Structures are given as structure tokens and as C-alpha cells.
Amino acid sequence: MPPQLIAESHPYGVWSLVPPLVSIVLAIATRRVVPSLLAGVVAGVLIVEKFRVAAAIPALFEEHLWKNLADPQHLRVFVFTLLMGAMVSVIHASGGMRGLVQSLAPLARNRRGGQLIGWLLGLVIFFDDYANCLLLGNTLRPLTDRLRISREKLSFLVDSTAAPVSGLAIVSTWVATEIGLIEAGYRDVLGPGTPLDGMGIFIATIPYRYYVLWMLAWIPFLALLDRDFGPMLQAERAALAGRVRVPHPTPMTAGSGGDAGAVRHWAYAVIPVLAMVLCTGWLLIATGSQSLKGKAWDANRWVEFFRAGDSYVALVYASLIGLALAWLIPLSTRALDGARARVAAFDGATHVLGALAILWLAWCLSELTKDQHLATGKYLADLLSERLAPPLMPTMVFVLSAVISFATGTSWGTMGIMMPIVIPVTFRMLAGAGGLAAVDIHDPIIIASIGSVLAGSIFGDHCSPISDTTVLSSQSSACDHVAHVWTQLPYSALVGVAAIVFGTLPAGYGVSNILLLPLGLFMLVVFLRLVGRRVAA
């Protein structure tokens, strides 16, 4: 359909694109996501109210900002994220995470072992990307220096297991935000009262997050084969020869919330996190069995109950139990006093406020782009359906998410901008004569497009020199920041290209992940064998 006819059949036409475009352009120009999202929301309200400022001001505060803040499901997301941030900070203050790292570090006796331990610990500290950056860099630096592993490689290990791991984990400071954005996009299409398994959809996207999965799986091959290429190879050979290539700054520590002087024991971290994971699973099954009343309990039906469970209820109460154990266990052993625990919990909760602001404004922007307001998804779907085949949607979304994330330095902000647009647009592109009701909510194109938002956001963030985790990784590892970016970029770019060539493109045309996931990793290992060179030449 020609653009002019689309505009005639659409209540707002090209104006429906203005709010998300305002947010994207301002986020890239200013690198400040919260004001950019707010500007997009204001622009959307002005357009809906036909630029009548007197009507737009009360509509902004009452119909959009307050409505999305006071929503019961949204409040559960806020509570879980605050509790999770508090729990992570208390565990850190008690010395639990540092004790866990130090208990595993002695297992590394050579360069291969040092890199594998760094990778393994990055997987273990799955519940917060900032905690991962600060803990691994500061704790492993003496070990990697002794084993003559470069600071650049340490920074790469830290950065590559921070956001990628937290973004995948079903119990982390990320999960509620990711599920909340996914559910908001679906409800834009299906309606607010539609039953929806947000956790199930989140889990279904994991096999489609090719960049994240392949980066995490490729790292141990770098260690085992002892091969590198590009600037990283030069850095590793310089470290092996005892030469320092770049000036290393003073390392960044965990700050006032650290565990200096604390009695460090791995149990202070493992027990609360393990309890939280188990409680989340049990509560999902319990709430699922409640929602499926009339179905008798059967050991073979637990997966059905798990999928039907209320993920928000489960996460809130499980995180509360985790925080209580993280507080009480070190308190009972006098490893942590009440005053320090309170300060740590408060610091951890305030640490996630920026993420909650992004999520809140993303919900508001999503509400404005719905059919009852601007109908942005309908306009984009009509516009793209003549120019873009649905199988190409995951690739386009991955590339666009990566560009925005690279330019803004934030994966969270990119998810908040992209998710409310991508899901409705993909639904409408797939809708045929049967309309939206005929589209399967688990259609592989939709799931792959959502996975592309989550993976593309992390890919761009991983490459960006202004990303917070990129900065934290270099600083906590006492590595020159430019050297970290320069040595990591070829590795990230390689995996990103592989994610398109062996991932999003063939997946869009129906190729199974059973074939794609091992194929992509195999090709990355082959590239490493052909192009990479042994560090000890």
C-alpha cells in the first residue's frame, strides 16, 4: 500500500512515528535515556491531544504517568527489582560473593585455567551485571597478573560474562524488566485482560539470542586453544613476555558498599541465591496449580503448572526470602552488623532506580503507541509489509537494536525503546486474512524478533565505549579503557556477524535452532583455528 494511502487510512499517519523517533534520536544525541523517553512520551501526548497544552498536561500525568506507575503488575516488578538490588548489595557487603570467587580462584594453575576460572565465575555471578564487573575484575586481577594473562583479556572476560549472563538468567536484576517489556508489547496487541505467560515467552526467546549464547560458549575455546587474533593477540603476547603495553589506571573498587574487612565465606552468597531460585520454581508451580483449578496434581504435569504460574508473585516473594537470608545468615555469625546491612540494602535498592525509571517511561511510551492512541504498530506494519518480508524481521531488529545500543551505551534503554514497537509490528506483519487473532503468539518470527531485541541490545552495549559495563569492566580490571574497547571490538564484531549469518537470517526462514546453534559455534571455532595464533608463539 502506498504511503499516502496508509496515511489516509490511519488516524495519525506519519505522526504516529514521532514519539519513538524522538526518544531514539535524543537518546543517541544526548546519551541520556530517561529524559529521552520522557520527551517521547510528552510528544506522544501532545499529538494525541492535538497539541492542546491545557489538555495534554493533565493527560500526561493522570492518564499515562500515574496510570502506568499504579498498575498492580507494574508495582510487583518495581518491588522485585528493588528487593533484588538490595539482596545483591547485602550479599556483597557480607563478603559472600568475594568469598565465592576466592574459593574457586586457586583452582587455576596456568593461563588456560585462569581464563576458564574467570569464565566460570562469570557464569556463577549471574544475578547482577554490575556485581559481576566489580567482583571479577578486582578479585581475579592478582591471579591473572601472576599467570601473565593480560589486563585486556581479563577485561574481556569480565565484560563478556556481565550483561550476557544477567540478561539470560531467570533470576536476576534484569528478568522482571525483560518480562515486563515483553508482556507490555503482547498486551498492546492482545488486550490488557488476556492471560499471558510472560516467563514462558522469555524462556522461549533464549535459543534465539545467538550473540549472547555464542559469545558465552566461545570464550572457553579461546582459553583451551590458547589462540587469539588482532589487538588481543598483541596484548596477550606482551603480557606473556612481561611487558606492559598500556598504562593501567588505578583499579575501581566496589566503593562504600564493599566488603572490606568482612569475613568472606561462599555460603553467604550461595544459600540466599539458591533459596531464591528454589522458591521461585516452587511458587511458579504453586500459583500455576491455583490458576489451573480442576486439574488434578500429577508429577508429569509440573511443567504445565510451571508455565501457568504467576511469575511476578513468584519473583517478589522469592526475592524477599533471598533478602531475608542474605541479611540474617551473616548477621547470625557476626560477619555483618545491622547498620552495615541497612546501608547496603538501601544502596542496592537505590542502585536500580534508574532502571525502574526507564521501565516506567517505556511502559508509558508503549501505551501511547497502542491502537487506541497512536496505533504506531499498525502504521509501521502497513508501511513495512510492502518493503520487508517477515523472515527478515529478526535480522532488521537485531541490527537496529545493536546500533541504538552502541550509540547510547545502554542495553536497558534500547530494550525499553524497541520492545514496545517490535512486538506489535511483527504481529501485524504476520496477520493475514484472519487478522491478529489468527497469529500464533509463539510464532517463531515473533519469538526470534523478541530475542533479537534482547541480544542486539547487549551486542551494541558490549561494543560501545560509553557503556556502563564496558567502563566498569576496564576500571575494575585496572585496564586502559581504550585498550579494552580496541581489543574486545574484533571479538564482539565477529560473533555479531555470525549471529546474523548463521542465526537471525536462516532462523527467519524456518531453519531449526537444533542445527543453527551448534553450526554457529562450530564456525566460530573454525575461524579461531584458521585466523587465530597461539599466544606462546
Q: Could you tell me the three cell numbers for 330?
A: 551473616
Taking the C-alpha atoms of residue 251 and residue 262, their distance in angstroms, rounded to an integer, is 20
Taking the C-alpha atoms of residue 132 and residue 216, their distance in angstroms, rounded to an integer, is 14
Query: Residue 324: what pLDDT?
Result: 93
Q: Could you tell me the three cell numbers for 467?
A: 557503556
Query: Residue 376: what pLDDT?
Result: 73
Taking the C-alpha atoms of residue 369 and residue 347, their distance in angstroms, rounded to an integer, is 35
Name which of 369, 398, 370, 420 is nearest 508 in CA terms. Answer: 398
Query: Residue 249: what pLDDT?
Result: 46
Q: Could you tell me the three cell numbers for 166?
A: 544477567
Do residues 45 and 56 touch, judged by C-beta distance below 8 A?
yes
Q: Which residue has the cell 550479599?
A: 91
Computed on alpha carbons and rounded to an integer, the radius of gyration of the chain in Å comes to 24
Query: Residue 54: what pLDDT?
Result: 92
Name which of 457, 420, 461, 447 is nearest 504 in CA terms. Answer: 447
Q: Tell me the Ramachandran region of residue 492: left when phi exceeds 0, alpha when psi lies from -120 to 50, beta otherwise.
A: alpha
Beta bridge partners of 62: none
Taking the C-alpha atoms of residue 184 and residue 245, their distance in angstroms, rounded to an integer, is 48
Residue-wise pLDDT tens for the chain (537 aa)?
Answer: 444 444 445 678 788 888 888 887 887 787 677 888 899 899 999 999 989 999 999 999 988 899 888 888 788 878 887 888 888 788 888 888 778 777 777 777 889 988 998 898 888 777 667 667 766 776 778 788 888 999 999 999 999 998 898 888 877 768 777 888 898 888 888 877 777 888 889 999 999 999 999 999 999 999 999 999 999 999 999 999 887 654 444 444 444 344 444 557 888 888 887 888 788 778 878 887 777 775 555 555 666 676 667 777 887 898 899 899 989 998 888 888 888 889 989 988 887 787 688 778 877 887 787 767 887 766 766 676 667 788 999 999 999 888 888 876 778 778 888 888 889 888 888 876 567 777 888 899 999 999 999 999 999 888 888 677 887 788 778 888 888 889 999 999 999 999 999 999 999 999 999 999 999 999 999 999 999 999 886
| β 227-228/533-534 pair status | antiparallel
The count of other CB atoms within 10 Å of the CB of residue 527 is 14
Q: Give me the DSSP letters along 130-172.
A: HHHHHHHHHHHHHHHHHTT--HHHHHHHHHHTTHHHHHH-SSS
Residue 530, burial from CB neighbour count under 10 angstroms (0-12, 13-18, 19+): exposed
Do residues 139 and 102 touch, judged by C-beta distance below 8 A?
yes
Taking the C-alpha atoms of residue 236 and residue 231, their distance in angstroms, rounded to an integer, is 9
Taking the C-alpha atoms of residue 314 and residue 150, their distance in angstroms, rounded to an integer, is 42
Beta bridge partners of 227: 534
Please list, in sequence order, all residues whose beta carbon lies within 8 angstroms of the beta carbon of residue 319, skipping any fewer than 6 positions away. 80, 83, 84, 87, 276
228 three-class SS = strand
Boundaries of every domain in the chain = 3-534
